[in-house]
Structure 1
């Protein structure tokens, strides 16, 4: 059971490495690596915006 799970994890890691390596997998004409990088930066920007917003709301003087 454990060996099968490790095999599945290894398959996913190999697929991820294929995506990150030069063997680009193309989805609808866009390379998947570009999509992953864009998603990463989008999540980063959204996280920073949420942090700034929560800090502003937290330190705002209460009416």
Structure 2
């Protein structure tokens, strides 16, 4: 589950970054929206990347 969720988050991040690059002129509301969504996806990715080592640490403690 973790790996496919990470892939989904990475795909969304790439998409949002492409959308930001493709803005032909500065559109404040659109830019703000894309940046908010990008921040959300990067936070989700960071959470997933932290969960894996934490799960390993917890598994070692319970042995």
TM-score by length of 2: 0.49
Q: Which has the larger radius of gyration?
A: 1
Greater relative contact order (Cα < 8 A, sep 6+): 2
Higher-helix-fraction structure: 2
TM-score by length of 1: 0.49
